[in-house]
């Protein structure tokens, strides 16, 4: 499969899939719309399967705090496009001297889970609700927020000479075009079983790569992620 390094590569493949090779019948602005939607679906699929793939972090300092407001920092209209958060991975309390992880706050889905926190597993809990982080106990520490960012790619860069980079999952960038093509066909009121089947194949192939990891020896070291040790 040809390498799809840039936006223009994925855009060309998308037009082949929907049989719209030029801007005569599909304007570039409309193609950009489908590609942006396709990229959002692709980003969600990849980051759900492998949250560390698009990992970013943000530092914060807490003083006797039960909560931290992310509005204007990582969420909300004032957050910058380059740092906006799509989903939370974890919050880490750092050692003030070494800046190494000292304590982990694992995300929970409800206030009931947050309030029922038990410290016997040597960790804490954090809840992302609306635009705030809520902690299972008061925190005074330097902390790091680990999160998946919102995609920040300019899909208008589809000219042959453009070099708008997407990300490092280059071998699976065809999935962006496939997701976009599904949106295109849905807008026209019909389906494409061939594209749906190909997308399923590519999704499964991506998941199979997680068993090996990008680091060749990583699969040799398997650890239990159960905090309770059951």
Q: For residues 95 and 127, state if they share a domain.
A: yes
Domain coverage including residue 111: 56-149
> What is the per-residue pLDDT for 39?
97
Strands 124-129, 101-108: pairing is parallel
CA distance 190 to 168: 33
Q: For residues 33 and 104, state if they share a domain.
A: no
Q: Are 142 and 96 in contact (CB under 8 A)?
A: yes
Q: For residues 65 and 138, state if they share a domain.
A: yes
24 phi and psi angles, rounded to 5 deg: -65, -45
pTM, rounded to two decimals? 0.84
Q: Are 173 and 159 in contact (CB under 8 A)?
A: no
Q: For residues 31 and 94, state if they share a domain.
A: no
In a domain, 225, yes or no: no
CA distance 176 to 155: 11
**Total count of domains within the chain:** 2
> What is the per-residue pLDDT for 27?
84
Tokens for 83? Answer: 């740092």
Average pLDDT, the chain: 88
Q: For residues 62 and 43, state if they share a domain.
A: no
Contacts of 126 (CB under 8 A, 6+ apart): 88, 90, 91, 105, 106, 107, 108, 114, 133, 134, 135, 136
Q: Are 47 and 54 in contact (CB under 8 A)?
A: yes
* Beta strand segments in 150-193, E: none
Confidence class of residue 160 from pLDDT cuts 50, 70 and 90? confident
Alpha helix locations (H) across 19-129? 28-49, 111-115
pLDDT digits (tens, 9 = 90+) for 80-120: 988 999 999 999 999 888 888 888 998 999 999 898 876 65
Burial class (CB in 10 A: 0-12, 13-18, 19+), 160: exposed
> What is the per-residue pLDDT for 217?
59
H/E run at residue 127: strand 124-129
DSSP state of 101: E
Burial class (CB in 10 A: 0-12, 13-18, 19+), 215: exposed
On the question of pLDDT at 197 being above 80, the answer is yes
Arithmetic mean of pLDDT, 49-62? 93
In a domain, 30, yes or no: yes
Domain boundary among 97, 123, 149: 149
Q: What is the DSSP string of 133-154?
A: EEEEEEEEEEEEEEEEEPP---
Arithmetic mean of pLDDT, 173-180? 97
């Amino acid at each position: 499969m040809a390498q799809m390094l840039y936006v223009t590569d994925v855009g060309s493949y998308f037009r082949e899939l929907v049989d719209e090779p030029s801007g005569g019948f599909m304007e570039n602005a409309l193609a950009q719309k489908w590609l942006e939607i396709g990229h959002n679906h692709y980003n969600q699929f990849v980051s759900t399967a492998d949250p560390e793939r698009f990992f970013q972090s943000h530092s914060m300092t807490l003083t006797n705090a039960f909560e931290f407001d992310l509005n204007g920092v990582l969420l909300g209209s004032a957050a910058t496009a380059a740092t906006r958060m799509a989903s939370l991975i974890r919050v880490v309390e750092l050692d003030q001297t070494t800046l190494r992880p000292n304590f982990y706050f694992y995300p929970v889905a409800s206030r009931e889970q947050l309030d029922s926190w038990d410290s016997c597993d040597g960790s804490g809990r954090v809840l992302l609700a609306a635009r705030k982080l809520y902690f299972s106990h008061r925190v005074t520490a330097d902390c790091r927020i680990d999160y998946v960012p919102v995609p920040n790619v300019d899909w208008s860069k589809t000219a042959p000479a453009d070099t708008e980079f997407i990300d490092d999952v280059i071998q699976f960038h065809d999935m962006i075009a496939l997701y976009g093509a599904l949106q295109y066909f849905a807008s026209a009121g019909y389906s494409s079983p061939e594209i749906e089947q190909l997308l399923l194949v590519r999704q499964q192939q991506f998941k199979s790569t997680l068993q090996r990891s990008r680091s060749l020896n990583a699969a040799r070291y398997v650890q239990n992620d159960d905090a309770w040790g059951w």
